[in-house]
Amino acid sequence: MNKRFYARLARQNLQKNIRSYGPYMLACVLTVCMFFIILMLSVSPSLQSMTGATTIQLVIRYGVIVVGLFAVIFIFYTNSFLIKRRKREFGLFNVLGLEKKHLARVIGLETFYMALVSLGLGLVLGAALTKLMLLVVAKLLGMPAPMGFFAGPRLLLTVIGVTAALFAAIFLLVFLYSVRQVYVARPVELLQAEHAGEREPKAKWLLALVGAACLGAGYYIAITTTDVLQAIFLFFVAVVLVIIGTYLLFTAGSIAILKAMRANKRYYYQTRHFTAVSGMMYRMKQNAVGLANICILSTMVLVMVSGTSCLMLGMDTALKERYPYDVNISRSDPATIEMVKKAVADAGIPAADEVEYDYITFAAYRRPEGLAVTTDYTMDTESSLADVLVTDLADYNRCTGQDYTLAPGEILLKVERADYTADTLALLDRTYTIKEQVDSAVKYGNLTPNLTSTWYIVVPDLDELARINAAVSAQMGVLEPEMQQEEGYRLRRFYGFDVPGHDDETALNARLAIRAAWEKASGDDAVDPEGTYECRAWERQDFVSLYGSLFFLGMFLGLLFTMAAILIIYYKQMSEGRDDRERFQIMQKVGMSRQEVKRTIHEQVLIVFFMPLVTAGVHTGFAFPILNRVMALFNLMSTEFYLWCVVGSFGAFAALYAVVYALTARTYYKLVST
Amino acid sequence: MTILTVENLGKVYTGRFGGNQVRALNNVSFGVEQGEYVAIMGESGSGKTTLLNILAAFDRPTSGQVYLQGKDLTAVKESELAAFRRESLGFVFQDFNLLDTFNLRDNIFLPLVLGGMGYVEMAKRLQPIAQRMGITDVLTKYPYEVSGGQKQRAAVARAVITQPKLLLADEPTGALDSKSSDALMDLFASLNREGQTILMVTHSTKAASHAGRVIFIKDGELFHQIYRGGATNEQMYQKIADTLTLLATGGDGHE
């Protein structure tokens, strides 16, 4: 047999199986394309020249790893699915006289063509889209669009080389796996391979229970973790548990439930339940793993897209929380603040909405009767940690536009991220009467991104404020003398103001003026190491580069995972269609009408394909509390806003899912009814 | 009483683009009496499967009528066909057509469940039939776990559990070994003795020799038919073999 024969056979095989290999090839092309793009972005000189480049590149490099891993798993998985379906074809070739080494040669050529097309088209497409992606990233990060071509020839060649090497390795792996599949099987087995999976599944109650337990534990962790510092670590534990639980419940759990349904004769032998239960059992056995994959992928897409879009969309809100005024200054010596005011005025910048108040902040621990200032926290967890900010009444009324009065021993209180219901509050050596829990407090950005609870206390006058300050100093001093010396525990003063029209450039100019005054006042920072001046417009750069790149990555990976989910759905529909065809015909012969058959099948297919989506929704729902706490780490404190992002993401994803379903269902019905 | 009447039945298959017409059945007429056991024989491509498909209402004729107990089958509405088929006809196929997702019992129950019968009633009906078919022990097994003969007997059980007016069989012994074939034919004969009307399409002379009447079809037309009269199975076998020889050597039959 000559060489051309193999080449022609390989080509014909691919063409003949275009229904299954077409989407696979498309997915490979897109995976190559996306890997190329993200790798290109990670080394792109135009991104390196942007502000916040380190953050952006860190995030994008993380993306390169994820996309690379994804490519390996995804291409391998899809191929193994396709090879399994072709075993019969290989068996036939084998029987017709093609030896296994010849078959290996054909498979090798097929894989080679696949790799060639994937890499060729993928790289061309990637090169074409990289510039577009660069523009998108620049837009997201609020940078000017990079000019010219995106990379020099040398860089371009390196990136192409790395991409080609990775995918060549993947396809080699795929080839070895396929050949192994053919080599280990005997021709008769190959011929019968497709029918091997039709045995009735066994009910594995133990596995089902383990699955339920894993899922329950994962959900429990997600719901009950209030400690944000633990949330990130526990989140991954919960994710692993939920993934295990999902796989076990989809595989063992579904079968166990269906078996239980079948055991109930009165229920089972009803027209609708009869075909549905047995049909579902068969479907679940064939599809459980694939459906669990879809479910996990969907959940990942939902979490990523909702989280990153929430960060991006909520960025301005988060910025305003963290930096309540255009310029925020905290200092322990009022003299410097006066110098700052003068410097700003000298720079010709009129300060608007000025706010100024004296305060102290310190950390305390929650007790049933109030707050304790101590370093002996052996009995405490992070969740009982409280940040306390105390101001005097006059400053409070002025800053918030209120008109409260307080008798000695009375306070106003506002607690964030915790509840306190008692009428009195014990603090240090005194117990105060809470006159009222108020709705508004002075704006102080530094405590906003805190994960612990924040307690705003308003005392009647400056004397009381000074007295508490002294008491805190004494308390801390006893325990840690060196700390007292360092921090001084003097009264601090906050000064914040807005620039006209919140203009960024004016704010940045104000910052420059303040920096000059600041350096003159301090000489070195020893006078007040805790003093800060923060300008919102300046800080935004950091926010934008972090949130913008996370958002980009979230969307990028979301797209990739969605593509994978779509491909799996398509293949499921296809294999379902082939298997159902025979059953469809028999049922009609035995006395089911066309409509009835169509309806039952339609119902089952709907259940099978929307179960992953619904489960993904439930997963996301249970993940919400813990994710909400993780979001707090990124300065996003609005639960409601995040909820809308999650609901929005789910809605968009569900709509896309439904469209994909409708399109692939046509393939399915075509297969069934011909 | 005539249970099935076939009048001037014709079926023409037309190629996809209107050309290439194939006449599968031409002007076929015959009747089947209540309690009769009829075999239809013919070579591959003679039109016997087309005929059976039309009798089973899987296919519509291009001309002529089929009456089952006076009811015009060709006029039954598409939406009523399934129920009609379920209630009036029983089917036995060459490849059994058992569903792999059901065990034998559930396969047999299938038409009854589709008809909305309760479990207790179904179980009551199944018990004697299963015993009769000799499949009581394997009822909970799945089709891929039992022998071909057992599969086919389960299929027969499924066909007769609805107590159909007419049992249609398409090459029922086609996929069976000779021992299972003989057993199945004995079963058919005994069902027939109890009054079940049977119409069977077959290649097998041996299978046909159990029937009370054999109709021969050639090139879509009724070629010949022979009645058992008082003949034994062996004599019947000989008669059929002779007719088949005539058929094969180019006899023109009644023309």
| pLDDT tens-digit series, residues A267-286 | 898 888 888 888 888 888 87
Contacts of B111 in chain A (CB under 8 A): 590-591
Residue from the list B83, B115, B144 with its beta carbon closest to the beta carbon of A198: B144
Whether B138 shows a pLDDT value over 70: the answer reads yes
A278: closest chain B residue by CA: B101
Of residues A325, A388, A229, A314, the one with CA closest to residue A635: A314
Q: Which of A364, A530, A374 is nearest to A446 (CA)?
A: A530
Q: What is the pLDDT at residue A87?
A: 79
Q: Distance (Å, rounded) from C-alpha A546 to C-alpha A634?
A: 10
CB contact under 8 A, A269 and B79: no
CB contact under 8 A, A590 and B91: yes
pLDDT of residue A484: 46
CA separation for the pair A150, A450 (Å, rounded)? 40
Residue closest to A64 by CA, chosen among A43, A27, A38, A45: A38
Point out the least confidently predicted range of A141-145, A294-298, A304-308. Answer: A141-145
Residues of B in contact with A265 (CB under 8 A): 119
Q: Report the chain B residue with the minimal C-alpha distance to residue A596.
A: B82
- Residue in chain A closest to B155 (alpha carbons) equals A590
Q: Given pLDDT bands bounded at 50, 70 and 90, which one contains residue A199?
A: low
Binary contact (A591, B111; C-beta < 8 A) = yes
Q: Does A19 touch chain B (CB under 8 A)?
A: no
CA distance B77 to chain A (A): 11
> Which one is predicted more confidently, A469 or A650?
A650
Has this prediction a pTM greater than 0.80?
A: no
Radius of gyration (C-alpha) of chain A in whole angstroms = 32
- Distance between CA atoms of residues A501 and A537, nearest Å: 12
Q: Does residue B192 surpass a pLDDT of 80?
A: yes
DSSP string, chain B: -EEEEEEEEEEEE--TTS---EEEEEEEEEEEETT-EEEEE--TTSSHHHHHHHHTTSS--SEEEEEETTEEGGGS-HHHHHHHHHHHEEEE-TT----TTS-HHHHHHHHHHHTT--HHHHHHHHHHHHHHHT-GGGTTS-GGGS-HHHHHHHHHHHHHTT--SEEEEESTTTTS-HHHHHHHHHHHHHHHHTT-EEEEEES-HHHHTTSSEEEEEETTEEEEEEE-TT--HHHHHHHHHHHHHHHHTT--TT-
Calculate the average pLDDT of chain B. Answer: 87
Other residues' Cβ atoms within 10 Å of the Cβ of residue A577: 22
Q: Does A590 touch chain B (CB under 8 A)?
A: yes
| Mean per-residue pLDDT, A437-448 | 83
**Of B169, B104, B168, which is closest to residue B138 (Cα–Cα)?**
B104
* DSSP element (H, E) containing A496: strand A492-498
Q: Which residue in chain A has the smallest CA separation from B160?
A: A590
Interface of B with A in 118-147 (CB under 8 A): 118-119, 122, 142, 144
Distance CA B164, CA B199 (A): 12
For residue A459, the cross-strand partners are A392
pLDDT band of residue B16 (cuts 50, 70, 90) is low
* More reliable by pLDDT, A390 or A474: A390
Local structure of A121: helix, strand or coil? helix
| A392: enclosing H helix or E strand | strand A385-392
What is the pLDDT averaged over residues A415-443? 86
ipTM score of complex: 0.77
Distances (CA, A) of A477 to A467, A489, A648, B10: 15, 10, 52, 110
Give the integer Cα–Cα distance in Å for B223 and B220: 9
CA distance B154 to chain A (A): 13
pLDDT greater than 80 at residue A217: yes
pLDDT tens digit string along A320-362?
A: 888 888 889 888 778 888 888 888 888 888 888 888 999 988 8
Q: Determine the Cα–Cα distance for residues A68 and A300; give it in Å rounded to an integer.
A: 16
What DSSP letter does each residue of B190-218 carry, written as one string? HHHHTT-EEEEEES-HHHHTTSSEEEEEE
8 Å CB contact between B49 and B77 = no
Q: Are B146 and B96 in contact (CB under 8 A)?
A: no
Of residues A157 and A631, more confidence is placed in A157
Inter-chain contact A590–B86, Cβ cutoff 8 Å? yes
- Is residue A306 within 8 A of residue A648, CB to CB? The reply is yes
A529 or B76, higher pLDDT = B76
Phi-psi category of residue A417: left, alpha or beta, with phi > 0 → left and psi -120 to 50 → alpha: left
The distance of Cα A31 from the centroid of its chain, to the nearest Å, equals 20
Cα separation, B104 vs B151, whole angstroms? 8
Asked if A264 reaches chain B (Cβ–Cβ under 8 Å), the answer is: no
Q: Is A278 on the interface with B (CB under 8 A)?
A: yes
Closest CA to A180 of A271, A289, A78, A103: A103
Which contiguous run of DSSP H or E holds residue A365? strand A352-367
In the block, residue with structure tokens 């429990």: A220
Q: How many residues are present in chain B? A: 255
- What are the Cα distances from residue A588, in Å, to B57, B93, B111? 11, 13, 10
What pLDDT does A196 receive? 46
Q: Test A591 with B115 for CB contact under 8 angstroms.
A: yes
* Contact criterion met (CB < 8 Å) for A593 and B83: yes
Which among B85, B101, B119 has CB closest to A591? B85
Cross-chain CB nearest to B82 (options A266, A586, A592): A592
Query: Is the predicted pLDDT of residue B9 greater than 70, yes or no?
Result: yes
What is the structure's pLDDT at A249?
92
Predicted confidence at residue B255, as pLDDT, reads 40
How distant is the Cα of B75 from the closest Cα of chain A, in angstroms? 16
Partner residue opposite A593 with nearest CB, options B81, B110, B118:
B81
Q: Choose the weakest-confidence range: A121-130, A206-215, A520-529.
A: A520-529
Q: Give the confidence band of A80 by pLDDT, cuts at 50, 70, 90.
A: confident
What is chain A's percent helix, strand, coil content, to nearest 5? Answer: 75, 10, 15
On chain A, the residues whose CB falls within 8 A of the CB of B97 are: 585-586, 589-590
| CB spacing of B111 vs A279 below 8 angstroms | no
Which of A72-86, A229-243, A366-380, B53-67 shows the lowest per-residue confidence on average (mean pLDDT)? Answer: A366-380
CB proximity B81 to A under 8 Å:
yes
Q: What is the DSSP string of B146-194?
A: S-HHHHHHHHHHHHHTT--SEEEEESTTTTS-HHHHHHHHHHHHHHHHT
Placement of tokens 């119409």 in the chain: B199
Would the CB atoms of A586 and B85 count as touching at under 8 Å?
A: no
Higher pLDDT, A379 or A669: A669
Is there a contact between A533 and A518 (Cβ–Cβ < 8 Å)? yes
Reported as a pLDDT band with limits 50, 70 and 90, residue B19 is low
| Cβ contact B82–A588 (<8 Å) | yes
Per-residue buried b or exposed e for B172-203, using 16+ beta carbons within 10 Å of the residue's own CB: bbbbbeeebbbbbbebbeebbeeebbbbbbbb
Region A535-562 average pLDDT = 87
CB contact (8 A) between residue B58 and residue A589: yes
Q: Are B113 and A269 in contact (CB under 8 A)?
A: yes
Packed helices A271-313 and A315-322: angle between N→C axes, nearest 10 degrees: 50
- Closest to B100 (Cα-Cα) out of A263, A267, A252, A579: A579
- Measured distance CA(A553)–CA(A564) in Å, rounded: 16
> Hey, how many other C-beta atoms are within 10 angstroms of the C-beta on A395?
20
* CA-CA-CA-CA dihedral for B192, B194, B197, B199, to nearest 10: -20
Closest-CA distance of chain B to residue A80, Å: 25
**Between the CA of residue A353 and those of A48, A327, A331, A399, A493, what are the distances in Å?**
38, 11, 19, 10, 16
* Residue A150 pLDDT level (bands cut at 50, 70, 90): low
Chain B residue with minimal CA distance to A597?
B82
Work out the percent of chain A whose per-residue pLDDT is above 70.
Answer: 90
Q: Do residues A88 and A194 touch, judged by C-beta distance below 8 A?
A: yes
* Chain A residue with Cα closest to B120: A266
With vertex at residue B235, the alpha carbon angle to CA B234 and CA B240, rounded to the nearest 5 degrees, is 100
C-alpha–C-alpha distance, residues A623 and A254, integer Å: 23
Tell how strand B197-202 and strand B166-170 pair up.
parallel
Quick check: B119 and A583 CB within 8 A? Answer: no
Q: Tell me, rounded to whole angstroms, the distance of Cα B35 from its chain centroid.
A: 14
Distance from CA of B116 to the nearest CA of A (A): 6
Residue of A nearest to B140 (CA): A200
Listed in sequence order, the residues at least 6 apart from A553 whose beta carbon sits closer than 8 Å to its beta carbon are A59, A60, A62, A63, A308
CA distance A156 to A152: 6
Residue A210 has what pLDDT? 94
Chain A interface includes B194 (CB < 8 A): no
Q: How high is the pLDDT of residue A479? A: 47
> Residue A495, SS3?
strand
Distance CA A399, CA A241 (A): 49
Question: What is the Cα–Cα distance from B11 to A528, expressed in whole angstroms?
Answer: 103
